[in-house]
Structure 1
C-alpha cells in the first residue's frame, strides 16, 4: 500500500515538473534567441568585413580588433574607462558606507535623510547628465560661486591628463574632465550603496557589538574588526554592480559631455554608438561590443561562479 502511494506521488511530481518545464520553454527560447543568439551574431559580424552600408560577411579574422587596439580613440576610451571605474567604485563604496554608518547612529529624522540620499536613484542618467552639465559648466553653476574666490575650474572641458606618460598613441593618466563625470555618477548611485550597507548594518546583531565592548574594544575597533568584515559580502556585491554600470556607461556621458575634446571623456559605448550608427562601420562596432562584453564578464563570471559554489 505504501509503495503504491509513493509511486503515485512520484508520477504526480514528474507531471508537475513537466508542467513547469513547459511554462519555461517560451522564456528559454526567447532568451536563447534574443540574448545568446544576438551575442553570437555580434561576434560573427566582428570578424567580418562589414564596414559599410553594404553587408560583407567575408572573414576578416581579428583585423577589426587589431585596428581598435591601435586606434588612438579606443586607447583613450580604455584609459578613461579604467580611471572612471576605479574612482566611481571607490567613491560609491566610501560614501555609501560612511553615510550608512552615520544614519545607523539612530539619528533623528532618519527616514528623511534616507529618502534624500535615495532620491537621485529615481532619476535616469540622462536627467543627471543634463543637470550636472549645467552645474559644472565653466560659466554657470558652481563656477559662479567659485569665481568670488578667483577659482574657475574647467570641469569636463579640461583636456589635461594628471600624471600622464606616453602609452601607445595616448597620454596614460587621469583625465581631469573625467572627475566631473565621476561626481555626477557618484551622486546618483551612492543611494544604492547606502541602502545596501544600511541593510547590512541593521542585520548585525547588537550582541556582537556589546560583546566586543565588554572585551574592551573601542568603537573604531568594533567597526574595523567586527562590522566591516561582516559587510564584506555587501561590498563585493556593490563592486560587481557598480563595475557593470561603469564598464557600459553611455547615457550619462552622452547627455553630459559627449566624447569631449581630444576624447578625454569618451568611453567604449560612445565609440560603438558613433561607429555603428553614424559611421556605418558595423564590424568595428561589433568588435567594440564584444570587447565590452568581455570586460563585464571579467567581473561578473567569477562572482557568479563563486556564488554557485557557495550555494552548493
Structure 2
C-alpha cells in the first residue's frame, strides 16, 4: 500500500502538497517476477478448466469437432453408463480403504519412530522412500508381486502351497446379494491389490505428518499427565491425540483428494480390470477422451472429478484462511 510523504515547508512558503511515493524497486521486481507465473497459471490451469467445462456441454463426441450446445446430456449419459456407475462404487471403497490404511499405518510408524530409536534417520528414509518412486513404477512392481503367476504367489507355490486363492483381478464382489442401478453393490475383491500398492506408497507421507505432530506436543503436558497417574495409553489418548487433530484433518483432505485422481498407478497395474472391477473415474476419463474420441463425455467426467475434489479442498482452505486471519 502506498503512503504519503509528510508535508514540508520553509517559513514564509506555502506547504508542499503530499505526493505518493514511487513503488520501491524490490516491489517492482517482485511484481515483474510474479506476472509470468500468473499468466501461465491463468492460461494452463483456469483457462483450460473453463475450456473443459465448455466442451462438456457440447456435442463433441466424435473425432470431428462439434461445439454445438448439448446441455447436461453428456452428464446424464455418463451417469447412466455401467462403467461410470462401477467407477463411483470403486471410488467409494477405494477412498475409504486408502484413507484409513494410510492414517492407521502412518500413525503407527510415527509412534514407533518417535520412541528415540537408534538409526531413526535410516527408518524415516526407508518409510519415505516409496514417495520418491513414480506411481507408474509402483504399479508395475506391485503387479509383478501380486500376479497369480509371478512374485509372491510363485514363491509360495515353490514352497508347497498349491491351492492359493485367486483374488488378484478377481471379478467377485462381496457381498453378492444386492444391486444398485446397473451395478452390483459391495466391495470389489480385486480392488485390494490397488489399495495395497497405494497405501504402501502414501503411508510414509502420513507418517511424516504425524511424526511432526508428535514432536510438537509439549513435554510439560505429558509430564503433568504422568504426575496425575495416567499411564502411557491414557496419556496418548487424552493428551497427545487431541493435539494431532489438525494433522489428521490435513492428512484426510490430502488423501481424499489424491484418491480421486489415481490414474498412473492404476493404468500400469491392473487397468480397468474384468467388468471394470478396478476401474476409477480418472482412467475412465482418459479412455473415453483419448481412445474413444468422445471428448464431450470425457470432459464431463473430468468436471465431475473437479467438483468432487473441490468438495473436500474448498472447505479446508476456507477454514485455514479463517484460522490465519484470527492469529
Global fold match (TM > 0.5): yes
Tell me what 2:240 maps to: 227
TM-score w.r.t. the length of structure 2 is 0.90
Establish whether residue 284 from structure 1 lines up as the match of residue 297 from structure 2: yes
Q: Deviations over 1:217-255 (max 9, x none)?
A: 111111111111101111111111111111010000000
Tell me what 2:227 maps to: 214
Using the TM superposition, give the Cα deviation of residue 144 of structure 1 relative to its aligned residue in structure 2, in angstroms. 2.8
Using the TM superposition, give the Cα deviation of residue 116 of structure 1 relative to its aligned residue in structure 2, in angstroms. 1.3
Query: Which sections of structure 2, spanning at least 5 residues, go unmatched?
Result: 9-16
The structure in which a higher percent of residues are helix is: 1
Q: 1:279 to 1:236 in 2, by over 3 A?
A: same
TM-score w.r.t. the length of structure 1 is 0.94
* Secondary structure at the counterpart of residue 65 of structure 2: coil
Using the TM superposition, give the Cα deviation of residue 22 of structure 1 relative to its aligned residue in structure 2, in angstroms. 3.8
Aligned-CA RMSD value: 2.0
List aligned pairs for 1:243-254, cutoff 5 A. Answer: 243-254=256-267
Decide whether the 8 Å contact of 1:259 with 1:265 is kept in 2.
yes
Work out which of the two has the higher radius of gyration on C-alpha atoms and give 1 or 2: 2
CA distance in 2, matches of 1:302, 1:131: 36
1:108 pairs, out of 108, 113, 118, with 118
CA distance in 2, matches of 1:8, 1:105: 63
Q: 1:226 to 1:12 in 2, by over 3 A?
A: farther
Tell me what 1:32 maps to: 42
Establish whether residue 259 from structure 1 lines up as the match of residue 272 from structure 2: yes
Query: Which sections of structure 1, spanning at least 5 residues, go unmatched?
Result: none
Tell me what 2:105 maps to: 95
Tell me what 1:66 maps to: 76
CA distance in 2, matches of 1:17, 1:201: 39
Tell me what 2:6 maps to: 3
Q: Deviations over 1:186-245 (max 9, x none)?
A: 111111111111111111121111111001111111111111110111111111111111
Establish whether residue 308 from structure 1 lines up as the match of residue 321 from structure 2: yes
